[in-house]
């Protein structure tokens, strides 16, 4: 499973590298989301004082980026590899460069650069400073020191790395079309390409996202998710006092849901420019309320005396 | 005297912030040193992607001692006062005080001496303070310490600090301080990939040399020089020419510590895309330079990149990687361009019905329709074909909704021109797409094709009249809609193309066109609210030049006048002459105003002009005094029968000749001729003041002479109000 021969070998190499750094290797979150940052292992775990190290692949859905399988590198579903380490270690840049070496990018042969990129997510109420990481002129990763997430100041700051897996693998394998990536590392009859796995899905989902998704249903789903999120947040405050929260994670699931439904509605072209801002604001309000609740949970760093108590 | 070396070593600093940060560091440290009484000989600051460095040389080794004399209470004064004095001055007893006698009596004086501190100690205090308060545009927290509220913020994580101080001949000392867990020292690192090991440095000279050996070019200017020279050389070697780009050069030099310039190429088939699109793609997305062929003046299929390492394969992999990315980017651009060509510009226009230009000024479609009407109105005045002008105005903004302009907004107008030509539009019509945005600033080209002139004027006047109508005028330094630039554009279009346009009339005309948009919007609003639609379209008017015009048109005229004055001032011309011409009233033709100003300026450079102005000024002053004293005006023609002296008669005669002559010249817009006529008045005016006493004892004669003076003032008003002219 050499990283430069197969897409899966590439993923396994990254996982192994970050496992060796003491990261918890998680599996993808079981919900649709636009980026690995939405995973509660990043959004929520970035908050509060407790140390946290995790790495995982997250399938990311960008309904608007669908191109019916026609474009060589645009996809409505792709993989991000996400690393989150809190507090950010002093040698995070070096670790990142070592991880590139682990997937076959030799920094004595390639031109690796850190180019300014300030990250901001209006839907998550989050911002950070960092870079786009370039390899020979190609953006291959995002590197961010989170300053605020879900409206809460990060204390301490977490470092986040996001690798665009397809793009990096295309570079390492030397292919120009994402569908030509060798997925399983075999040759001849046994070879499975990225296209074999995902081309049909790209075509089908593009049709769905742009032409057939049920907008009426989606509008209802958005409202339902929004209402459920608020309901769970309200119900989660222990003894009705805003000191301890017992249901931040289920509430946050609904925030993820609302965000993805919004992306689907946006791709369908049924949200006007002015409405767009208001939808983003509504998702942000949910994210902020979830962040506030999370800070009152045990993993969020709230008082250990709450342990073991139930609703 | 000793020197300071300071290096702040961090993770990658954004390229655009480096130059200002270096300057801020130099200013903050040197200002602080001077404030501490430490005057230095020289200072220089540098920045690379990973470090800010400052060297200050010739700083005194310590502050001078500070002697203070402090006056205390009277000898034999109250005990409380004496105790307070001792406490404040730190004296042990009155024995340590001196006694000084002055006219009010004997007083205690305390002489204290505050010894100067060693500069090393001063630096150890001020450097951490400067680092803590450094004005980065955006800064951040990081690492374990970011959990504390007192954590240091920096542009990106700060890793180490070099701070040494000492003489060239001696081993320098480290300026000792600790900041956010970083202890100052004399250790830095070289290039991230090529020389990552620690380096021990003493002072600036060995620091710079050791960095150079560790593959870091400290001086940004040197990095720029290297990149530019190597890029030119690479292009030249293949018979090509680098397309220079100073802004890109600045940025690229801030992305590397060790610039290695390499050349790559792309498939020649992409050269079918307009050169500007290729350049925007390669420059904006990849930060690479493009290359042209001097034989054709067009781009070639080469590009120049600046890497940060000497790669072990000589850069083959780097070039290949960049070529792949550029190929993908150009494929996208080519796809956008070819997609754009499939839709005619006029077929894009319906899209503008859904794009709001400004919430109070309607849609882009309405704005385009207004520009079409105004351009058609202006066309005959600038010698443009009306039909072509209307077509040009119709299509000029259509490229805003194309794919290429969506990707590269800076190509607006230019793409419109290409698309117009591709669909077989007339060359003037196509040119107007690009040129109607011009001039964008004082250095920008002014269009000369009449069609472009008409559309450019209409575009700018629609903007000005529109924002005036909704009261969004520029205030102070705030001009979010660039209205000053629009007005200056109108001035240059008119003056440089010698176009006569009555701005008040044009503005009145266009305001009524704009009323239709406002009416439509008010009706739509009324319909939504389900209420009655009573549309009031009120506007206030005022009397101007014998007719009623909109107050806004008059106000806008004054805005143009102010811009014209500003422009003349910047050109070193006499802007007071603009006032002298405008105070005549009724002047809204800027070309004529400028011509009058030019004629005046020339005239006042001659002796005749200077003396005549002095004479007119004297006449005005005398009149002013006497009119005030007598509380009446001396208008009306003087009576020839009352002239007693020859000089009076001669002046009256000269005036009778010069007045009509100057008037006739002005009517023909021959301002130089009017001035020549005016010059003839000078001997008569000079002789009059020489020989004639205005305030004659005979009241009738005095009145007559004052009336004569009034005539002088009136005659010169044919060209300007001389009283507004400054000495």
Q: Tell me the per-residue pLDDT of B334-360, one tens digit each, with 9 for 90 and over.
A: 988 999 999 999 999 998 988 888 888
* Orientation of helix B699-716 relative to helix B681-691, angle to 10°: 150
Q: Within 10 A of B27 (CB to CB), how many other CB atoms are there?
A: 13
Question: Do residues B57 and B43 touch, judged by C-beta distance below 8 A?
Answer: yes
Q: Are residues A240 and A104 in the same domain?
A: no
At B140, list the tokens. Answer: 């951040």
Q: Is residue A266 included in any domain, yes or no?
A: yes
Please report which helix (H) or strand (E) contains residue A266, including its range.
helix A248-267
Say how many domains are in chain A.
Answer: 2
Q: Which of A209, A237, A260 is the last residue of a domain?
A: A209
Residue B317: its chain A contacts at CB < 8 A? Answer: 109-110, 136
A187 and A227 belong to one structural domain: no
Distance from CA of A228 to the nearest CA of B (A): 33
Is B305 in contact with B318 (CB distance < 8 Å)? yes
Beta strands in B450-491 (DSSP E): none
DSSP states along B637-680: PPPGGG--SHHHHHHHHHHHHHHHHHHHHHHTT-HHHHHHHHHT
Question: Same structural domain for residues A12 and A156?
Answer: yes
Domains, chain B, ranges and CATH? 3-61+118-213 (no CATH), 66-114 (no CATH), 220-341 (no CATH), 346-557 (1.10.3210), 606-724 (1.10.730)
Which candidate from B144, B287, B328 shows the least CB-CB separation from A73?
B328
Count of other CB atoms within 10 angstroms of residue B261? 23
Please report which confidence band the pLDDT of residue A309 belongs to, taking 50, 70 and 90 as the band edges: very low
pLDDT tens digits, residue range B461-518? 999 999 999 999 998 888 888 999 999 999 999 999 999 999 999 999 999 999 988 8
* Cα–Cα distance for residue pair B140/B138, rounded to 1 Å: 7
> What is the pLDDT, as a whole number, of residue A307?
47
Q: Is the pLDDT of residue B326 over 90?
A: yes
The verdict on A159 and A146 lying in the same domain is yes
Alpha carbon of A164: minimum distance to chain B alpha carbons (Å): 15
Angle at A155 between CA A154 and CA A157, to 5 degrees: 65
Distance from CA of B261 to the nearest CA of A (A): 12
Both A18 and A75 in one domain: the answer is: yes
Contacts of A53 in chain B (CB under 8 A): none
Instruction: Establish if A310 belongs to a structural domain.
Output: no
**Residue B616 pLDDT:** 85
Which tokens in the block code for residue A162? 């996001």
DSSP-derived 3-state class of residue B528: helix
| Predicted local distance difference test score (pLDDT) of residue B360 | 85
Instruction: For residue A145, give the nearest of A217, A67, A86, A220 by alpha carbon.
Output: A86
Name the residue among A107, A137, A155 with its Cβ closest to that of B322: A137
The count of CB pairs under 8 A between chains A and B is: 109
Q: Quote the tokens at residue B714.
A: 């009136």
Cβ–Cβ contact A49 with B under 8 A: yes
A74 and A196 housed in the same domain: yes
The residues near B492 (Cβ < 8 Å, ≥ 6 apart) are B439, B446
List the domain range (segments joined by +) for residue A131.
7-209
| Residue B631, beta-bridge partner list | none
Inspect the interface and report whether the beta carbons of A116 and B12 lie closer than 8 Å.
yes
What is the chain B residue with the closest CA to A138? Answer: B325
Give the largest CA-CA distance in chain B. Answer: 107
Does A306 have pLDDT greater than 80? no
* Residue A21: both structure tokens together: 């750094």
Q: Rounded mean pLDDT of B57-81?
A: 87
Average pLDDT for residues B309-330, to the nearest whole number? 93
* Domain-embedded: residue A76: yes
Residue among A88, A113, A128 minimizing CB distance to B255? A113
- Asked if A144 is an interface residue toward chain B (Cβ–Cβ < 8 A), one would say no
Tell whether the model's pLDDT for residue A310 goes beyond 60. Answer: no
Token pair 């005229």 is found at B557
Spatial separation of the C-alpha atoms in residues A183 and A10, rounded to whole Å: 9
Q: B216: closest CA among B257, B254, B177, B272?
A: B257
CATH number of the domain where residue A154 is located: 3.30.930.10
Q: Within this chain, do residues A86 and A154 fall inside the same structural domain, yes or no?
A: yes
Is the peptide bond prior to A227 cis by the omega test (within 30 degrees of 0)?
no
Q: Minimal CA–CA distance to B401: which of B454, B365, B441, B448?
A: B365
Separation of alpha carbons B330 and B328, rounded Å: 6
Structure tokens belonging to residue A230: 């608020």
Task: Select the more confidently predicted residue: B405 or B712.
Answer: B405
A93 at the B interface (CB within 8 A)? yes
Residue B537 has what pLDDT? 59
Q: Is residue A1 part of a domain?
A: no
Q: Specify whether the CB–CB gap between A152 and A140 falls below 8 A.
A: no
Q: What is the pLDDT of residue B380?
A: 96
Point out the domain boundary residue: A162, A183, A209.
A209
Kind of pairing between the strands at A126-135 and A119-121: antiparallel
Asked if B492 and B534 touch (Cβ cutoff 8 Å), the reply is no
Under DSSP, the state recorded for B446 is P
Compute the distance between CA of residue B301 and CA of residue B290 in angstroms, rounded to an integer: 8
Q: Are residues B11 and A113, on separate chains, in Cβ contact within 8 Å? A: no
B318 contact residues in A (CB cutoff 8 A): 109-111, 136
Q: Is the dihedral of CA A38, A44, A49, A53 positive or negative?
A: negative
Task: Give per-residue pLDDT as tens, B13-33.
Answer: 999 999 999 999 999 999 999
The pLDDT, as a whole number, for residue B14 is: 97
What's the mean pLDDT in B216-220?
Answer: 98
For residues A115 and A46, membership in a common domain is answered with: yes
CA A83 and chain centroid, separation: 10
Residue B258 tokens read as 């060790």
Token pair for residue A185? 């590392």
Structure tokens at B504: 């008040």
> What pLDDT score does A232 carry?
98
Contacts of B552 (CB under 8 A, 6+ apart): B465, B468, B469, B507, B511, B539
Contacts of B158 (CB under 8 A, 6+ apart): B8, B9, B10, B131, B152, B180, B182
Going by pLDDT thresholds of 50, 70 and 90, the confidence category of residue B535 is low
The domain that contains A245 carries what CATH number? 1.20.58.180
Element (H, E) at A165: helix A165-173
- Closest Cα partner for B191 from B217, B173, B228? B217
Do the Cβ atoms of A88 and B193 come within 8 Å?
no
Structure tokens at B418: 């290409």
pLDDT-derived band at B328, boundaries 50, 70, 90: confident
| B255–chain A Cβ distance below 8 A for any pair | yes
- Residue pair B513/B393 in contact by the 8 Å Cβ criterion: no
Q: Which of A88, A136, A275 to mutate to test the interface with B (most CBs of B within 10 A)?
A: A136
Q: How confident is the model at residue B599 (pLDDT cuts 50, 70, 90)?
A: confident
Same domain, A281 and A139: no
Q: What's the rounded mean pLDDT across residues B165-180?
A: 92
**Distance (Å) from the C-alpha of residue A90 to the closest C-alpha of chain B?**
7
- Model confidence pLDDT, tens digit, residues A29-79: 999 999 999 999 999 999 999 999 999 999 999 999 998 998 888 899 999
Structure tokens at B590: 């800027």
Strand (E) positions, B452-521? none
Based on the fold, state whether residues A193 and A218 are members of the same structural domain. Answer: no
Least confident of B170-184, B236-250, B679-693: B679-693
CB B405 within 8 A of CB B425: no
CA end-to-end span of chain B: 53
* pLDDT mean over B418-428: 96
pLDDT at A134 over 70: yes
Contact B430, B475 (CB under 8 A): no
Task: Decide: residue B302, CB within 10 A, 0-12 exposed, 13-18 middle, 19+ buried.
Answer: buried
Which one of B9, B138, B140 makes the best mutation probe of the A interface by having the most chain A beta carbons within 10 Å?
Answer: B140
> Considering A155, A182, A209, which residue would you say is the last residue of a domain?
A209
- Closest by CA to A283, choosing from A262, A308, A253, A301, is A262
Question: Greater confidence, A292 or B602?
Answer: A292
Residue A190 in any domain: the answer is yes
Closest CA to A287 of A46, A52, A22: A46
Q: How far is CA A44 from the centre of its chain?
A: 12
Q: How confident is the model at residue B142 (pLDDT cuts 50, 70, 90)?
A: very high
Cβ contact, residue pair B321, A114, below 8 Å: no
In chain B, DSSP finds a helix count (H) and a strand count (E) of 26, 20
In this prediction, residue B604 carries a pLDDT of 85
Measured CA to CA, the distance from residue A95 to residue B460 in angstroms comes to 55
State pLDDT tens for residues A76-116: 999 999 999 999 999 999 999 999 999 999 989 999 999 99
Residue in A108, A118, A155 closest to B193 by CB: A108
* pLDDT (0 to 100) of residue B367: 94
Burial of B441 (0-12, 13-18, 19+ CB in 10 A): exposed
Question: Does the residue A47 lie in any domain?
Answer: yes
Q: Clarify whether residues A294 and A202 are in a common domain.
A: no
Interface contact A131-B49, CB threshold 8 A: no
Confidence at residue B382, expressed as pLDDT on a 0 to 100 scale: 95
Q: What is the pLDDT, as a whole number, of residue A311?
A: 41
Q: Quick one: average pLDDT of B638-642?
A: 86
Q: CA nearest B259 in A: which residue?
A: A111
Q: Do A109 and B317 touch (CB under 8 A)?
A: yes
Task: Indicate whether A271 and A179 sit together in one domain.
Answer: no
Nearest-angstrom CA–CA distance, B405 and B416: 9
Provide the ipTM: 0.93
């Amino acid at each position: 499973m050499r990283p430069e021969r197969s897409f899966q070998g590439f993923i396994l190499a990254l996982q192994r590298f970050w496992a060796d750094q003491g990261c918890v290797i998680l599996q993808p979150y079981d919900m649709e989301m636009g980026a690995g940052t939405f995973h509660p292992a990043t959004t929520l775990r970035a908050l509060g004082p407790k140390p946290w190290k995790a790495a995982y692949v997250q399938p990311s859905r960008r309904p608007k980026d669908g191109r019916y399988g026609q474009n060589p590198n645009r996809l409505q579903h792709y993989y991000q590899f996400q690393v989150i380490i809190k507090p950010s270690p002093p040698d995070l840049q070096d670790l990142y460069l070592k991880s590139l070496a682990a997937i076959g990018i030799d920094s004595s042969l390639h031109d690796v650069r850190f180019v300014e990129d300030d990250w901001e997510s209006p839907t998550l109420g989050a911002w950070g400073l960092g870079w786009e990481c370039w390899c020979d002129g190609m953006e291959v990763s995002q590197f961010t020191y989170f300053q605020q997430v879900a409206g809460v100041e990060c204390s301490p700051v977490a470092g986040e790395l996001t690798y665009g897996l397809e793009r990096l693998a295309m570079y390492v394998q030397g292919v120009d079309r994402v569908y030509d990536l060798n997925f399983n590392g075999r040759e001849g009859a046994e070879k499975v390409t990225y296209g074999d796995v995902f081309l049909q899905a790209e075509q089908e989902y593009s049709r769905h996202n742009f032409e057939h998704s049920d907008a009426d249903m989606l509008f209802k789903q958005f409202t339902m998710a929004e209402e459920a999120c608020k309901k769970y947040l309200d119900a989660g405050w222990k003894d009705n006092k805003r000191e301890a929260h017992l249901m931040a994670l289920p509430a946050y699931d609904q925030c993820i849901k609302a965000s993805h439904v919004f992306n689907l509605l946006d791709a369908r072209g049924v949200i006007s420019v002015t409405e767009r801002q208001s939808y983003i604001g509504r998702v942000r309000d949910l994210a902020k309320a979830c962040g506030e609740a999370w800070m009152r949970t045990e993993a969020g760093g709230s008082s250990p005396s709450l342990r073991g108590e139930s609703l | 005297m000793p020197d300071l070396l300071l290096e702040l070593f961090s993770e990658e600093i954004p390229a655009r912030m480096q130059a200002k940060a270096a300057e801020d560091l130099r200013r903050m440290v040197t200002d602080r040193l001077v404030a501490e009484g430490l005057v230095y000989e020289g200072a220089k600051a540098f920045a690379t992607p990973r470090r800010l460095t400052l060297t200050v040389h010739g700083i005194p080794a310590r502050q001078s001692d500070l002697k203070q004399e402090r006056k205390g209470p009277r000898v034999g004064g109250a005990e409380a006062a004496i105790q307070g004095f001792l406490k404040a001055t730190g004296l042990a007893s009155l024995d340590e005080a001196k006694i000084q006698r002055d006219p009010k009596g004997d007083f205690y004086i305390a002489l204290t001496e505050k010894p100067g501190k060693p500069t090393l100690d001063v630096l150890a205090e001020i450097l951490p303070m400067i680092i803590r308060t450094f004005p980065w545009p955006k800064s951040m927290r990081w690492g374990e310490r970011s959990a504390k509220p007192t954590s240091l913020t920096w542009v990106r994580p700060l890793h180490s600090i070099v701070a040494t101080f000492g003489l060239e001949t001696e081993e320098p000392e480290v300026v000792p301080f600790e900041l956010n867990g970083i202890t100052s020292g004399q250790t830095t690192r070289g290039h991230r990939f090529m020389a990552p090991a620690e380096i021990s440095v003493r002072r600036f000279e060995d620091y710079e040399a050791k960095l150079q050996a560790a593959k870091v070019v400290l001086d940004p200017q040197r990095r720029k020089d290297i990149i530019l020279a190597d890029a030119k050389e690479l292009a030249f070697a293949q018979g090509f020419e680098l397309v220079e780009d100073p802004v890109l050069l600045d940025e690229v030099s801030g992305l590397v510590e060790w610039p290695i310039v390499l050349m790559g190429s792309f498939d020649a088939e992409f050269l079918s895309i307009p050169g500007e699109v290729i350049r925007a793609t390669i420059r904006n997305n990849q930060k690479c330079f493009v290359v042209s062929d001097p034989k054709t003046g067009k781009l070639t299929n080469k590009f120049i990149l600046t890497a940060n390492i000497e790669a072990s394969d000589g850069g083959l992999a780097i070039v290949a990687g960049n070529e792949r990315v550029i190929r993908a980017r150009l494929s996208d651009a080519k796809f956008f361009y070819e997609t754009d060509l499939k839709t005619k510009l006029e077929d894009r226009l319906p899209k503008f019905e859904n794009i709001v230009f400004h919430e109070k000024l309607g849609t882009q479609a309405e704005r385009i329709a207004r520009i079409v009407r105004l351009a058609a109105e202006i066309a005959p005045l600038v010698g443009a074909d009306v039909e072509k002008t209307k077509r040009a105005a119709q299509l000029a903004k259509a490229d805003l909704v194309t794919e290429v302009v969506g990707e590269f907004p800076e190509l607006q107008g230019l793409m419109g021109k290409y698309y117009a030509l591709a669909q077989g539009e007339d060359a003037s019509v196509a040119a107007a797409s690009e040129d109607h945005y011009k001039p964008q600033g004082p250095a920008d080209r002014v269009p000369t094709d009449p069609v472009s002139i008409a559309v450019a004027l209409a575009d700018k006047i629609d903007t000005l009249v529109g924002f005036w109508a909704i009261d969004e005028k520029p205030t102070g330094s705030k001009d979010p809609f660039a209205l000053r630039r629009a007005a200056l554009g109108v001035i240059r279009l008119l003056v440089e193309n010698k176009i006569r346009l009555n701005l008040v009339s044009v503005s009145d005309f266009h305001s009524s066109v704009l009323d239709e948009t406002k009416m439509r919007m008010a009706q739509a609003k009324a319909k939504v609210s389900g209420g009655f639609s009573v549309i009031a379209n009120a506007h206030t008017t005022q009397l101007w030049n014998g007719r009623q015009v909109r107050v806004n048109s008059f106000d806008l005229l004054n805005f143009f006048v102010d811009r014209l004055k500003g422009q003349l001032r910047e050109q070193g011309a006499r802007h007071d002459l603009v006032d002298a011409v405008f105070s005549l009233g009724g002047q809204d033709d800027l070309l004529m105003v400028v011509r009058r100003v030019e004629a005046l300026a020339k005239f006042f450079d001659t002796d005749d002009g200077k003396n005549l102005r002095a004479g007119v000024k004297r006449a005005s002053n005398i009149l002013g005094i006497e009119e005030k004293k007598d509380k009446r005006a001396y208008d009306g023609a003087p009576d020839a029968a009352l002239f007693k002296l020859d000089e009076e008669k001669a002046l009256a005669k000269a005036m009778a000749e010069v007045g009509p002559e100057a008037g006739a010249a002005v009517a023909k817009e021959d301002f130089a001729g009017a001035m020549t006529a005016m010059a003839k008045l000078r001997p008569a005016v000079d002789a009059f003041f020489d020989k004639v006493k205005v305030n004659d004892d005979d009241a009738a004669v005095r009145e007559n002479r004052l009336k004569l003076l009034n005539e002088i003032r009136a005659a010169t008003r044919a060209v300007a109000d001389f009283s507004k002219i400054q000495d």
